[in-house]
Amino acid sequence: MLLFLTNLLLALSMVHIICTYIALFGKPQCRLNFWYGTQGIYLCYLWMVTSAESPYPLVTLVGNILFLILLYRLAHRDSFKTCVFRSLIFFTVYMAVEVAVNCTILLVLQGEDVFLMGDAVCQIVMYLGIQIYGRIGPKKEEMPIPLRYWLELFIFPVVSVWIIYDTYIRSQTDGSNIALILVTFLMILLNFAVYDVYGRMASYALAGKQTAVYAQTIELCDRQAKEREAAYRQTRMLRHDLNDRLVALGALLEQGQYDDARQEIDEMLYENSLHRDEISHSGNLALDALINYKHSVAKTVNADLSCVVEVPADLPVDGTDLCVILGNLLDNALEAVALLPKEERWIKLEIRLEKGLLRILAENPYKGKLEQRYDGTLKSRKPGDGHGFGLLSVQRAVDKYNGELCLPYDDMVFRVCITLYLP
């Protein structure tokens, strides 16, 4: 009976450690019945494995990794590669700590309860390590890394498991527990370093994406500045020649050459309309550049993009944040309306500054069914790991201003409502 209770407590403790580890990367965002149900199944698995004392530790390890992957995947929206890598690293380190602790205890004590004591000490060590890392470790930004680099890093924990297992088998014949302890300690350091490298690579990937946004912002602002310069130059030329052309136009009218006069007027109107194909004239360079650029893109797919922009030129919002928010919203809207018939392709955008609040509303029709997560966010239905970060990037930019992001929609129109609290 005592052994039964001990195994049950160890299994409960292990589930708690797993949940604590998963919580390092954010609050679980799934249905509670799925979350607790999976934990219950995992608890039964741990109790069975612990009670039966499986002679195949690698099989047990694989089962633990699979359950952690399942729990992690239920809890977070991270890419599958990140989910697998973090799960494998965790149990590789756990295996190393367990072997090192048991070998250390065997150097001092002997008996049947040594391994139960080792399991308990190992869980305490892992729990303390998770708590310490959660407090002092850097916050990792989620971003999928290229498959090639993922595979290269994935090799390290796999090889570590094999080295620890092989060294353990050898130690059973020659009794070299001290060597086994040193090997497991080195494997712990190695996997921690690889884990840190993975996090840094993800941060660099995110920084690269942000750099691309900066480059796009600079390019759009430069393009907007050149278009405005060309428009101002054209306007100055028209004003300079206006008197002479009006004299010529009056002469044509006096001579009764009405067709030539009409043609001259049409030409003047056409020249005055050059570089006027813009729908945003707020004076905010980044805002106007992005909206006018997306307007030109919308025309290529026969979509009607209309906007109302009522903001001052000096808006206390970083231009890059505006490009991240509006760029992702308009890109998603353009992709959605491109699937509709031409007569249904429309996008509405409203941007207003009211009493220190910047309100952004985007609307567009869509086709198909939207899939929503338990936390209210929408799932991306695009294939691959590179998708699904548009609204996450928008959410980060909104959070920067302590704002709010709402996604009200019905069966015909999708809406995005954003409120930014400006200083």
Of 381, 376, 383, give the one whose Cα is nearest residue 416.
Answer: 376
Per the CB < 8 A criterion, the answer to whether 202 and 189 are in contact is no
Return the residue matching tokens 């590789």. Answer: 92
Is the pLDDT at 386 greater than 80, yes or no?
A: no
CATH number for the domain whose boundaries are 280-423? 3.30.565.10
Per DSSP, 344 falls in state: G
Of 127, 70, 115, 65, give the one whose Cα is nearest residue 90.
Answer: 65
C-alpha distances in Å from residue 331, one per residue of 112, 286, 290: 64, 16, 11
Is the pLDDT at 228 greater than 70, yes or no?
A: no
* Distance of alpha carbon 120 from alpha carbon 126, whole angstroms: 10
* Distance of alpha carbon 214 from alpha carbon 323, whole angstroms: 9
* Distance of alpha carbon 395 from alpha carbon 129, whole angstroms: 31
pLDDT band of residue 385 (cuts 50, 70, 90) is very low
Per-residue confidence (pLDDT) for residue 345, from 0 to 100: 92
Model confidence pLDDT, tens digit, residues 398-414: 888 889 998 877 778 88
Beta strands in 233-345, from DSSP E residues, in sequence order:
304-310
User: Which strands form 304-310's sheet, in the order they lie side by side?
Assistant: 304-310, 346-354, 357-365, 413-421, 404-406
Name the region of 72 (left: φ>0; alpha: ψ -120 to 50; beta: rest).
Answer: alpha
The ranges assigned to domains in the chain are: 2-212, 280-423
Per the CB < 8 A criterion, the answer to whether 248 and 255 are in contact is no
* Distance of alpha carbon 382 from alpha carbon 400, whole angstroms: 27
Please name the amino acid found at residue 233: R
H/E segment holding residue 419? strand 413-421
Model confidence pLDDT, tens digit, residues 51-102: 666 667 778 888 899 999 988 888 876 678 888 999 999 999 999 998 888 8
Query: In 3-state terms, what secondary structure has residue 417?
Result: strand
pLDDT band of residue 355 (cuts 50, 70, 90) is confident
Name the region of 140 (left: φ>0; alpha: ψ -120 to 50; beta: rest).
Answer: beta
Is the pLDDT at 275 greater than 80, yes or no?
A: no
Of 28, 22, 69, 30, give the one whose Cα is nearest residue 372.
Answer: 30
Is the pLDDT at 144 greater than 80, yes or no?
A: no
Please name the amino acid found at residue 265: I
Average pLDDT over residues 342-364: 91
Average pLDDT, the chain: 80
Of 298, 356, 358, give the one whose Cα is nearest residue 331.
Answer: 298
Instruction: Return the exposure string of 350-368: e unless at least 16 CB atoms fall within 10 Å of the residue's CB, then b.
Output: ebebeeeebbbbbbbbbee
Q: Token pair for residue 248? A: 């010529």
* Distance of alpha carbon 402 from alpha carbon 412, whole angstroms: 30
Per-residue confidence (pLDDT) for residue 45, from 0 to 100: 87
In terms of DSSP bridges, do strands 346-354 and 404-406 run parallel, antiparallel, or are they unpaired? unpaired
pLDDT band of residue 359 (cuts 50, 70, 90) is very high
pLDDT band of residue 397 (cuts 50, 70, 90) is confident
Q: Token pair for residue 240? A: 């300079």
